[in-house]
Each structure stands twice: as structure tokens, then as C-alpha cells.
Structure 1
Amino acid sequence: MSCLVDLPFEVPLEITSEPYSKEWYASLRAILGSGACQQLGIYAIPEDFLLSVVIPVYNERNTLPKLLDRVREVPIRKEIVLIDDCSQDGTTELLKEYETREWGDPMNEIRVLFHEKNQGKGAAVRTGFAQTKGDAVIIQDADLEYDPAEIPRLLQPIVEGRADVVYGSRFLGDQPHRVLYFWHYLGNKFLTLLS
């Protein structure tokens, strides 16, 4: 399989192996160097790695097709678990169609779960977590507030053994940050005191 990899310079490189495979990573590392690969979020994922993407859904009929396309495009083997929290806008019917569709895509296993009454996002996430079987779990909001293309960058510290948990934030920019526990604790105490 040939994969066109777009990098932040003019000429895309053609790499002839699966994205995130050991061969793919070795090819790019030979061209760019280890440091550049790490900064660009380029790394190898073990062949047997399975990512679970939990997507709580409530009244997202209009964004759901685009969301599912964007998540499926992430070049990592994954199970996509969609949990409908009793939507009222046609989302449930669309998800029932997705549930029965034959996707023919070995990189993406799609499962759909339904709540019979609205229980909130937290309950939908818990329902999804209970049904996952992946090596890592990511929560993807259905409104596309977070870009699924960033998933590989979130996984990198976990796959490389540098972190057990990674949290994404749209406020911190694109560089990794460590939580400073003392200041985090102090800030929370101060905010609790104010409220």
C-alpha cells in the first residue's frame, strides 16, 4: 500500500508501507531523523495495538457523517464505539443505519450503543468504556470540537511508554505540557475558596 504523507514542507514524501508501522517509521526516521520525527508526532505503533474511540452522541445528526469520516481516516487500527444518548433530531435513525452497514474496512470496527433515555454525557462515556477492548481509549466529542487528526499525537507518549494518561487541551497550544501538581492543587483550592 502506498501512503502519501504530508509534512510541513513543500514536497510530500511517498512512503510505501502502512502508516505508523515499523517500516513506515523507519523510512521517515531515516529521512528526517529521530528528533524531527518526535516533534512531528511520527512514531511506530505495535502491530497488535488497538485504539478504542468512544464517541458520546446527542443530537448530532448534522455533524455525525463528517465526524465518522474524520475518525475513520486516522491511520490506526481502531474500534469506534458510538453511544447515542436518546437523541431527538434523527441521530438515532442515522446510527441505526451505521450499525447495519457493511463498512468493509479492516482498520475500523464500528459499534453503536443506544440509551433508552437521556442520561447525560458522563453516562454515555461510562457505557462506552464498559464496551471497549482496546489498548488505549480516547473520548472524541461528536461536535468535532477536537480534531481527530490529533489522535496520533495524543497516543505518542503512551505508545512510547512516557505516559499512562494524556489529556488534550485546546488552550495549551500544540506542545506537550506537564502538570505541575503543587500549582494545580493550589489553584484548585483558591478557586474552591472563591466559589
Structure 2
Amino acid sequence: MKKLSVIIPAYNEERTIIKILDKVRNVRLIEGVVKEIIIIDDCSTDNTRFVVQEYIESINNEQLFFFCQDNNQGKGAAIHKGINESTGDFVIVQDADLEYDPMEYNELLKPVLKGFADVVYGSRFMGSKPHRILFFWHTIGNKFLTFLSNMFTNLNLTDMETCYKLFDSRIIKSITLNEKRFGFEPKITAKISKIPKIRIYEVGISYYGRTYDEGKKINWKDGVKAIYCILKYNLIR
């Protein structure tokens, strides 16, 4: 039996956290794979912590684990915590909003379970699945960051910034991770690209993006940080 560790970093997500937990819990994985759910509250200032605690008490699910950061450290730091606490054979990050569909976990698992891949990226820019139409400059920014990352890594990814990255846990646990905020995506891509004989696949996924009024947090400053991280971690050998 294989296990998938689903890591959910959360910051001020009281409006959506229960919905996403229900979605993740209700996913029926490929036969022979079970899941554990690890939630990391990044010192939210709303009721996220209390909502999750009540939810856990109400379901009494032994495969759902909850950790709270003592201070707000950023999404990357929450992911690091989740990775350290995970016990699965595979690891995937699930944002606490509703932009990504947990029903697609199996699509990312297939190349790994078939023995073809060590890492699988879920691309928002390939395939025929539904994508919400939102911000032109966000799309241009994402494609530019992916292009810049690919120049250094010599990969041909279409969506480096995607949340859905499924890892063999031995690989992700072997990498030193210290980017605490939105630099996690370019850093992890740079790091895995340097691993000899690493097998990286992409599959198309759907994307149900949200507006800033609906709780979207990433902004242009995070894009600048991502450029810095691409240069930093790809130029360090």
C-alpha cells in the first residue's frame, strides 16, 4: 500500500478551508493508494485555526493532522513544515483556496505509479480542462517566470509556478528548503533540475482562479521575488 501526503498551507482561509478539506477527504485515489492530510496554519489572523480544530473534532479522522505556526512565516515555511511531518511515499501541495481540484490527484499519480516519473507538475497551460479567465498580466507573468526558469534549468515546463507538484517523498525530503514565502516554486524547480537522472513529467489540470476580492494574495512583489530566486538558485551550483 502506498500513501499520498497532501500538504495544505493556510493563511486566513476561513471561508474556503472546510470546503477544500471536504474535497480532499472525498477523493478516491487509485487502488492501492491511501492519503494523509496535513494542514499548516501560518498564524492566521481570522478564524482559520478554530474552524479547522472544530472540523477535526467533528470527524475524528486519524489521517488528518493539524499544525499551527507560532508566527506568520509565509507559504514556503508552512510547506516545509508539512513536508517534515509527512509520512507518505508521495507528497503534493494543495492550496487552501478552491483554485485547484483535488479530484485530479490521480492524474498526477499515474506517471509515478507506472514507474515513468519521480516528479509530476500539473500544468494550467496545457490540456483541455476548464480554466477560469482572469488576469492577462498574471498569465504573462507566469509564462515569463516559467520561460526564465527553463532557460537556466534546460527543462521545457509550461507552468513552473503551479501549485500542483507531486514528488516522490525521498526526493523532496532530500532537498534543503529555506525559502519561506513564494520563492518555493522556483527554488524547488531549480533544485530538482540538478538531480542526476531525475524524471519530470507534466499533466494538464483545470484551474478555478479567484480574484483579489475573493481572497487571492499573490502580487507583483512576489513576481520580483520569484525572478530573484530563479537567478539565485540556478546560478548556485
TM-score for the superposition, normalised by structure 2: 0.52
Aligned partners of 1:132 and 1:174: how far apart in 2? 32
Aligned partners of 1:174 and 1:157: how far apart in 2? 19
Q: Post-superposition shift, 1:49?
A: 1.0
Unaligned runs of 5+ in 2: 130-146, 155-226, 232-237
Per the alignment, do residues 138 and 156 of structure 1 end up closer, same or farther by CA in structure 2, a change over 3 Å counting?
same
Aligned partners of 1:145 and 1:102: how far apart in 2? 24
1:28-87: per-residue Cα shift (whole Å, max 9, x none)? xxxxxxxxxxxxxxxxxxxx1111000000111010111011101111321000000011
Aligned to 1:184: 150
Q: Post-superposition shift, 1:172?
A: 1.9
Q: Is the 8 A contact 2:20 2:96 kept in 1?
A: yes
Per the alignment, do residues 165 and 187 of structure 1 end up closer, same or farther by CA in structure 2, a change over 3 Å counting?
closer
1:95 partnered with 2:56:
no
Aligned to 2:20: 67
1:148-185: per-residue Cα shift (whole Å, max 9, x none)? 0111001100111110000112122259xxxxx9x922
Report the AA paired with residue 61 of structure 1: E
Q: Is the 8 A contact 2:18 2:55 kept in 1?
A: no
Per the alignment, do residues 88 and 156 of structure 1 end up closer, same or farther by CA in structure 2, a change over 3 Å counting?
same
Report the AA paired with residue 67 of structure 1: I
Q: Post-superposition shift, 1:98?
A: 3.0
Report the AA paired with residue 119 of structure 2: V
Per the alignment, do residues 120 and 101 of structure 1 end up closer, same or farther by CA in structure 2, a change over 3 Å counting?
same
Aligned partners of 1:72 and 1:95: how far apart in 2? 14
Unaligned runs of 5+ in 1: 1-47, 176-180
Report the AA paired with residue 114 of structure 1: C
TM-score for the superposition, normalised by structure 1: 0.62
Listed as ranges, the matches of 1:46-195 within 5 Å are 48-76=1-29, 77-103=34-60, 109-174=63-128, 184-185=150-151
The structure with the larger Rg is 1
Aligned partners of 2:101 and 2:41: how far apart in 1? 20
Aligned partners of 1:136 and 1:142: how far apart in 2? 19
Q: Is the 8 A contact 2:18 2:52 kept in 1?
A: no
Point out 4+ residue stretches in structure 1 off by more than 4 angstroms: none
Aligned to 1:178: none
Aligned partners of 1:163 and 1:128: how far apart in 2? 22
Aligned partners of 1:80 and 1:71: how far apart in 2? 8
Report % sequence identity: 48
